[in-house]
Amino acid sequence: MAEKRDWSFLQLIALGVVLEVIFKQFPVLNAVQPILPIAIVAGILYGTERGFAVGLFSALVAGVLLYSASYFGAGIFFVEVIACALAGAIGGMVAKSRKPSKTEFVGLCVIAAIAFEALNNFFQGTQFARLSGFYYLEGTMLASALHIVFAVVLAMLLAGLLENK
């Protein structure tokens, strides 16, 4: 019988980077931020600092692989990195009192996705005013809804990692 293996800190960073790179290859999945639930898992399993680090480093490495240097000057990139890092830290803070159930973990991922979308859409709406009016609202609402749905799906898939600890 095979022994169940825990995911290491570096494996969670690699998983976040790989999923981010894969999702960005499909235009429909561009709005999805798979690093958020992975960072939350890292926070729950390894504590606030490591959760923060998984979110931070996954977003940074994925950004380096996916985008040009000009993208790093945009405020949106920093919103993404900070949101991913904070998601991991929040996972660690929640787990300090007790390990969340699978349902609570899914709820944390949905809250992280909603907060991420609110911040990201605010900065896109203020920085990139060319996308304005109804078309901007329609596009961001659809992308935000897709991100939240995928946050639930990813959280349910990743919830099995919480059983190890």
Given a cut of 70, whether residue 17 has pLDDT beyond it is yes
* Residue 75 pLDDT class (50, 70, 90 cuts): low
Q: Model pTM?
A: 0.82
**Could you give the C-alpha distances from 108 to 2, 35, 77, 78, 103, in angstroms and in order?**
31, 13, 22, 21, 9
Q: How far apart are CA 104 and CA 94, in angstroms?
A: 10
Q: So what CATH class is 9-164?
A: mainly alpha
The rounded mean pLDDT for the chain is: 80
For the ranges 16-30, 42-56, 71-85, which has the lowest average pLDDT? 71-85
